[in-house]
Amino acid sequence: MNFFVSYYSYLNAVEVGGKSFGLWQFSFTTYIAVVVTHLGFIAIYIGAWNWIVVFVFALHIVIFYPGWAFAYNELPGTHITGNQLEFYNHLNFWLIVFVIAVCAILPIAFIKQGKSMFFPRLIDLIMRKKIHKEIDIENKLKIDIVKLEKELDSENDDDQSVRMSQGLANQVLTSHHGTI
């Protein structure tokens, strides 16, 4: 998608001075759109945002990427020297990068949110409860584990599908080990 949106956007584009947009504008726009989309995908799959994550994202966007791109672009002996600032001044460039990033990230974000809403995993439920501070999740889990261990100790059936405590699992393994 990234390639074709950039390609068809610059297919017949002409600058104000009469120069046509060429390979460098197309490839630079495609590359920046890939970087922005990649950062968006990483942002979607980060489980917990804290100040360190925000700092690293900001550092990457503000310092590392532009520093590398400007240093690489200003190497002498290349015919693209100084073109990057020219690309940044075009509204078409920013519009294409924004459209590509949004069109690529939005479906994944909707699918991820839909899965957590309609088919939640245990971690989704725990994070939702912890975020809303409806329960103290650590104490709730301790109580549930104690209840589960008491239930397992009181049951003496051969149902192996029930979750077992470590002690009970060791007892079952040692009692069946001799018969195998």
Q: Are residues 124 and 97 in the same domain?
A: yes
Residue 29: pLDDT band by 50, 70, 90 thresholds? confident
Does the model's pTM come out above 0.75? no
Confidence (pLDDT) at 155: 57
Integer angstrom CA distances of residue 138 from 96, 121, 143? 46, 18, 9
Confidence (pLDDT) at 162: 46
How many domains in the chain? 2
Q: SS3 sequence, 86-135?
A: HHHCCHHHHHHHHHHHHHHHHHHHHHHHHHHHHCCCHHHHHHHHHHHCCC
Q: Can you tell me the mean pLDDT for 63-73?
A: 69
Contact 69, 4 (CB under 8 A): no
Q: Are residues 113 and 67 in the same domain?
A: yes
Residue 46 pLDDT > 80, yes or no?
A: yes
Residue 180 pLDDT > 50, yes or no?
A: no
Q: Are residues 38 and 68 in the same domain?
A: yes
Confidence (pLDDT) at 14: 62
Task: Return the amino acid letter for 18.
Answer: G
Q: Are residues 40 and 64 in the same domain?
A: yes
Residue 144 pLDDT > 60, yes or no?
A: no
Q: Are residues 152 and 117 in the same domain?
A: no
Boundary-marking domain end, from 93, 110, 129? 129
Q: Are residues 144 and 99 in the same domain?
A: no
Q: Are residues 141 and 109 in the same domain?
A: no
Q: Are residues 146 and 61 in the same domain?
A: no
Residue 175 pLDDT > 70, yes or no?
A: no
Domain interval for residue 59: 2-129
Q: Are residues 103 and 68 in the same domain?
A: yes
Q: Are residues 62 and 106 in the same domain?
A: yes
Boundary-marking domain end, from 129, 146, 161? 129
Regarding predicted confidence, which is higher, 120 or 13? Answer: 120
Query: What is the residue whose two structure tokens read 């077992």?
Result: 164
Residue 56: pLDDT band by 50, 70, 90 thresholds? confident
Q: Are residues 83 and 142 in the same domain?
A: no
Q: Are residues 61 and 42 in the same domain?
A: yes
Regarding predicted confidence, which is higher, 28 or 77? Answer: 28
Residue 161 pLDDT > 60, yes or no?
A: no
